[in-house]
Amino acid sequence: MPPVPADPGARQPQDAGQARESGRLSGPLFRDEQPDTAPPGVTETVVLRAISDDATPAPGRGTPPHPGAPVHPAPPANHLAAGQPHFVPSSHPGQETPVAAQPAPQPQPRKQRGGRNLQAAIGVGVGLGAVIVASLFVVKALFLVVVMAAVAVGVWELTSRLAERKQIKAPLIPLVVGGVAMVATGYWSGIQWAAASLALTGLAVMVWRMAQPPEDYLRDITAGVFTAFYVPFLATFVAMMLAADDGPQRIVLFLIVTICSDTGAYAVGYKFGKTKLAPTISPGKTREGLAGGIGLSMLAGALLMELIIDGGSWWQGLILGGCAAVTATLGDLGESMIKRDLGIKDMGTLLPGHGGIMDRLDSLLPTAPVVWLLLAAFVGS
């Protein structure tokens, strides 16, 4: 016959004396009071709170987690001064847990704006500048080769991203061939032949796409015609500036006013920018930055028109610099729209610290026809 468990509710004087001697408190309000024994045939599951071995009760109120467990001594009063871990109080008596002191938070290093590698960006920028200067002032036609190469790579980047993100299959070969033809005819024959090359490129895209199934035909040729206009045709105006007698000087003016627009916008916007220019397109751009870019570009235009352009005047440079800054900003926003629609950060990875070729042409391409037109109006073509 199994032994009958003792009634836990019965209070024996001897037990009470032992509880007083050991410094323990008992009663229905404390955790060490055992519940009534379950009736025979009923299995009772009790979930106990996990207690680590190093749990130490608070002074004067700790009880062991179960009868018979040893009671750890209370921490010394000067345990914080002695370098000991502090204790986090618990809602369950006797279960205070020591927590190691956390080190003081260290200031996080400031991230570079846009997540760019500044050293790589500067190095690549200096290298590109050296190539441009060498090609411009050593053999003028060599710069034309640089423009053609940039057009071919830019077309490849744009069509590749369209195919990867949107499954748009714009024909690459007719676009590259037609783009090179546009730049060449614009340099040697002028705008009429460049426009004719654009039209023939569009026709070639339509015919080339006929070799594939008709599904999404209209979508693909539309993307192809857009690519032909956006990259090679706008770059043709750079070749037409180069064709002038003072072509290298005009290219330098065009590049510097565009770069000053980007630099002034970045510097002023970083220091004083508060009002967002287009938060849904490019959250980093501010109206204060735009004003700074326009101001620096106008200053550069006024100086360069006086110094390096024959027959140029400072007031012409102010107009040219202001218009160039506006179109450069619009071009940057336009490509930001394209990249947001595609869900990408950069068009490519060819240029460390910059992204792809198209990430550097975004402000140059729409600025080229504006600068070409104003120079032709001011000093002739």
pLDDT at 68: 53
- Model pLDDT, residue 278: 92
Count the residues in the chain. 381
CA distance 361 to 376: 22
Residue 159's contacts (CB-CB under 8 Å, 6 or more residues apart) are 170, 172, 175, 223, 227
DSSP 211-275: TS-STTHHHHHHHHHHHHIIIIIHHHHHHHHHTSTTHHHHHHHHHHHHHHHHHHHHHHHHHH--S
Quick one: pLDDT at residue 121? 65
Tokens (6 digits) for 111: 């991230």
Classify 122 as helix, strand or coil. Answer: helix
> What is residue 120's predicted lDDT score, i.e. its pLDDT?
64
Q: Can you tell me the distance from the alpha carbon of 103 to that of 120, in angstroms, rounded to the nearest whole number?
A: 35
Buried b (16+ CB within 10 A) or exposed e, 234-243: bbbbbbbbbb
Helices (H), 273-313: 287-307
Which helix (DSSP H) or strand (DSSP E) does residue 98 occupy? strand 97-99
291-319 core/surface letters (b: 16 or more CB in 10 A; e: else): bbbbbbbbbbbbebbeeebeebeeebbbb
Helix (H, G, I), strand (E, B) or coil at 285: strand
pLDDT tens, the chain, 381 aa long: 455 455 544 444 444 444 444 444 444 444 444 445 545 554 445 444 555 444 444 444 444 555 555 555 555 555 444 555 555 555 555 555 555 555 555 555 444 444 556 666 677 667 777 778 778 888 888 899 999 999 999 999 999 999 999 999 999 999 999 999 999 999 999 999 999 999 999 999 999 999 999 999 999 999 999 999 999 999 999 999 999 999 999 999 999 999 999 999 999 999 999 999 999 998 889 999 999 999 999 999 999 999 999 999 999 999 999 999 999 999 999 999 999 999 998 898 887 766 889 988 999 999 999 999 999 999 997
> What pLDDT was estimated at residue 247?
93
CB burial of 144-157 (b: ≥16 within 10 Å; e: otherwise) equals bebbbebbbbbbbb
Contact status, residue 290 vs residue 328, Cβ threshold 8 Å: no
pLDDT for 30:
44
Q: Confirm if 371 and 261 have CB atoms less than 8 A apart.
A: no
Those residues whose C-beta lies under 8 Å from the C-beta of residue 276, and which sit 6 or more positions away, are 283, 285, 286, 287
The answer to whether the beta carbons of residues 327 and 196 sit under 8 Å apart is no
- In this prediction the pTM is 0.69
For residues 126 and 199, give the distance between their C-alpha atoms in angstroms, rounded to a whole number: 37
Q: Which pLDDT belongs to residue 140?
A: 84
185, 196 Cβ separation under 8 angstroms: yes
The per-residue pLDDT for 317 is 96
Give me the half-sphere count of Cα atoms (radius 13 Å) on the Cβ side of residue 126. Answer: 5
The answer to whether the beta carbons of residues 289 and 328 sit under 8 Å apart is no
3-state secondary structure of 191: helix
Largest Cα separation within the chain, whole Å, is 121
Torsion of CA 106, 107, 109, 110, to 10 degrees: 170
Nearest CA to 305 out of 375, 255, 258 is that of 375
Q: Cα 88–90–95 angle (5° rounding)?
A: 95
Please tell me the distance from the alpha carbon of residue 365 to that of residue 179, in angstroms, as a whole number: 14
d(CA 142, CA 149): 11
Number of H helices and number of E strands within the chain? 12, 4
Q: Give me the pLDDT at residue 107, please.
A: 54
Instruction: Give the pLDDT confidence score for residue 90 in this predicted structure.
Output: 52
